[in-house]
């Protein structure tokens, strides 16, 4: 018979979220200039098998967020607060050796932005994947690693005989598949894909998206997909976080955010997406430019571009609050602006 305490512990363990980022802050220091507030109070969570899309304009801190999670930051980066919890354990505080051995690539892997162009041009792709496996699995022999390489290539839709090819012999789509195979090499639970389809033509983009979707289902992966393209992200994700100037400004289930956007920036992003089925209209880029994160605007960071701003928006930074169940927004005026279109 189980004792009540044991039952409580067992139930507690079931409730632990797979992955959670809480109030994460990471700034880059530029000597003589100050701090670039690249990740400034970011929070979100991810359950097993979920896909979260993170969208936002260039320079808003998407890649910085991924690099902070994987502890792959350059020397001038400073993590100034917050937690990254994997199964309830803060992996930012974990001993770096233990993190390397047990977490990076093994539990959480990253498909780097532009990784397909960073494959080593003079090493056969099969050997590159095998090397990634052998670095982390010291006991594995080369022929076992090559067997795994062939399984991985088949998994991502490449004929295993292509293990002998050099990167230049493969198309862009195939190179991206190789990079995805590398990210899956150690059977991670979470894969972060940073702009996995940019630099590919639209047909290949669709194939790569389908591949990520199929892999996610087949392997029950949790995926974080990062992009500046909200329509691409919506193809894959069941949750979405909209980032602006180092912060999440809206976050929730994709349906809630798409059909009932609450933040003026999300409304603007959705308004800027051309619709295939909808009426023809001019594509509306958002007026103004994203702020310089060395000197972000006071109050709400979006206020200089927001047609709805009032005094409070200029003076006070809004908190990310739960506006509807599971639907969060960082805007002082979201309630009165419900249903009001941008611009
Ligand atoms: N090593 C660094 N030192 C100083 N500032 C940096 C460094 N790396 C990035 N930044 C700055 O941090 C901010 C966020 O950059 P990041 O690359 O995370 O944006 P992003 O959202 O991934 O953009 P993109 O869509 O273009 O990939 C930018 O202002 C960028 O200039
Ligand atoms: Mg980036």
When pLDDT is cut at 50, 70 and 90, the band that residue 11 belongs to is very low
What is residue 122's predicted lDDT score, i.e. its pLDDT?
95
CB distance 232 to 205 below 8 Å? yes
pLDDT in tens, 133-152: 998 888 899 999 999 999 99
More confident: 172 or 281: 172
- The first and second tokens of residue 76, run together, are 């001038």
Ligand in closest contact with the CA of 290: 1
For range 5-31, the mean pLDDT: 77
Q: Who's near 232: CB < 8 A, 6+ residues apart?
A: 197, 205, 209
d(CA 91, CA 99): 7
Q: What is the mean pLDDT of residues 314-323?
A: 97
Task: Give the ligand with the smallest distance to the CA of 244.
Answer: 1
Q: Which residue minimizes the CA distance to atom 20 of ligand 1?
A: 59
Lowest mean pLDDT among 90-94, 122-126, 233-237, 243-247: 233-237
Which strands form 239-244's sheet, in the order they lie side by side?
108-111, 190-194, 222-227, 51-55, 239-244, 247-253, 327-329, 321-324
Triad 6, 11, 17: Cα angle to 5°: 135
Higher pLDDT, 270 or 328: 328
Instruction: Give the tokens for residue 23.
Output: 């109030």
End-to-end CA distance of the chain: 64
Task: State how beta strands 89-90 and 34-46 pair.
Answer: unpaired
pLDDT, residue 155, reads: 96
- To 5 degrees, how large is the angle CA 220–CA 223–CA 224? 170
Ligand 1 centroid vs 252 CA: distance in angstroms? 24
Query: Which pLDDT does position 7 carry in this prediction?
Result: 45
pTM, to two decimals? 0.92
Distance CA 157, CA 79 (A): 38
Give the 3-state secondary structure of the chain: CCCHHHHHHHHHHHHCCCEEEEEEEEEEEECCCEEEEEEEEEEEEECCCCEEEEECCCCCCHHHHHHHHCCCCCCCEEEEEEEEEECCEECCCCCHHHHHHHCECCCEEEECCCHHHCCCCCCCHHHHHHHHHHHHCCCCCHHHHHHHHHHHHHHCCCCHHHHHCCHHHCCHHHHHHHHHHHHHCCCCCEEEEECCCCCCCHHHHHHHHHHHHHHHHHHCCEEEEEECCHHHHHHHCCEEEEEECCEEEEEEEHHHHHHCCCCHHHHHHHHCCCCCCCCCCCCCCCCCCCCCCCCCCCCCCCHHHCCCCCHHHHHCCCCCEEEECCEEECCCCCCCCCCCCCC
Which class in CATH covers the domain with range 4-237?
Answer: alpha beta
Q: What is the pLDDT of residue 118?
A: 84
pLDDT at 160 over 50: yes
Per-residue pLDDT, averaged over 326-335, amounts to 97
Q: In this model, does residue 3 exceed pLDDT 80? A: no
Ligand nearest to the CA of 38: 1
Ligand 2 centroid – CA 67 distance (Å) = 10
Q: What is the mean pLDDT of residues 103-112?
A: 96
Q: Is 125 exposed, middle or buried (0-12, 13-18, 19+ CB in 10 A)?
A: buried
Q: What is the band of 273 on the pLDDT scale with cuts at 50, 70, 90?
A: low
56, pLDDT greater than 70: yes
pLDDT above 70 coverage of the chain, percent: 91
Report pLDDT for 196. Answer: 93
Tell me how far apart the alpha carbons of residues 85 and 216 are, in angstroms, rounded to a whole number: 21
Q: In this predicted structure, which of 111-120, 169-178, 237-246, 289-298 has the lowest mean pLDDT?
A: 111-120
Closest approach atom of ligand 1 to CA 292: 29
Q: Which residue, 342, 209, 222, is CA-closest to 271?
A: 342
- What CA–CA distance (Å, rounded) separates 329 from 248? 8
How many CA atoms, within 13 angstroms, populate the side-chain half-sphere of residue 34?
A: 8
Which ligand 1 atom lies nearest to the CA of residue 67?
A: 18
Nearest ligand 1 atom to alpha carbon 64? 18
Report the nearest atom of ligand 1 relative to the CA of 294: 29
Give the closest residue (by CA) to ligand 1 atom 1.
74
Q: What's the pLDDT score for residue 199?
A: 81
User: Which residues have C-beta atoms less than 6 Å from ligand 1?
Assistant: 28, 30, 36, 38, 56, 58-64, 74, 76, 113, 228, 293
CB-CB contact of 70 with 192 (8 Å) = yes
Highest mean pLDDT range out of 107-121, 131-145, 212-226?
212-226
Between 79-88, 179-188, 264-273, the lowest mean confidence (pLDDT) is in 264-273
What is the residue extent of each domain of the chain? 4-237, 244-343
CB 219 within 8 A of CB 191: no
Q: Name the β-bridge partners of 226.
A: 54, 194
């Amino acid at each position: 018979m189980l004792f009540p305490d044991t039952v409580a512990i067992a139930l507690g363990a079931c409730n632990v979220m797979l992955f959670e980022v809480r109030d994460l802050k990471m700034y880059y220091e530029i000597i003589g200039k100050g701090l670039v507030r690249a990740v400034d109070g970011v929070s979100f969570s991810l359950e097993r098998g979920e896909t979260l899309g993170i969208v936002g304009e260039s320079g808003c801190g998407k890649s910085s967020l991924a690099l902070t999670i994987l502890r792959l930051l350059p020397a001038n980066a400073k993590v100034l607060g917050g937690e990254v919890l994997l199964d309830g354990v803060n992996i930012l505080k974990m001993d770096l050796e233990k993190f390397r051995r047990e977490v990076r690539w093994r539990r959480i892997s990253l498909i780097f932005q532009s990784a397909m162009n960073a494959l080593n041009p003079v090493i056969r792709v099969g050997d590159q994947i095998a090397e990634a496996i052998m670095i982390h699995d010291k006991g594995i022999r080369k022929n076992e690693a090559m067997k795994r390489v062939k399984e991985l290539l088949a998994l991502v839709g490449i004929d295993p005989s292509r293990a002998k090819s050099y990167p230049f012999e493969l198309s862009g789509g195939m190179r991206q598949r190789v990079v995805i195979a590398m990210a899956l090499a150690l059977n991670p639970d979470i894969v972060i894909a940073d702009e996995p389809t940019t630099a590919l033509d639209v047909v290949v983009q669709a194939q790569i998206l389908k591949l990520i979707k199929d892999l996610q289902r087949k392997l029950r992966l949790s995926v974080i997909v990062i992009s500046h393209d909200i329509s691409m992200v919506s193809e894959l994700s069941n949750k979405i976080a909209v980032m602006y100037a180092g912060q999440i400004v809206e976050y929730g289930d994709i349906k809630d955010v798409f059909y009932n956007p609450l933040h003026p920036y999300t409304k603007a992003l959705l308004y800027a997406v051309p619709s295939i089925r909808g009426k023809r209209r001019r594509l509306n880029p958002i007026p103004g430019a994203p702020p310089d994160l060395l000197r972000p605007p006071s109050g709400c960071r979006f206020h200089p571009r927001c047609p709805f701003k009032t005094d409070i928006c200029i003076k006070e930074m809004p908190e990310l609050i739960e506006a509807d169940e599971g639907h969060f927004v960082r805007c002082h005026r979201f309630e009165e602006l419900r249903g009001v279109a941008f611009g």
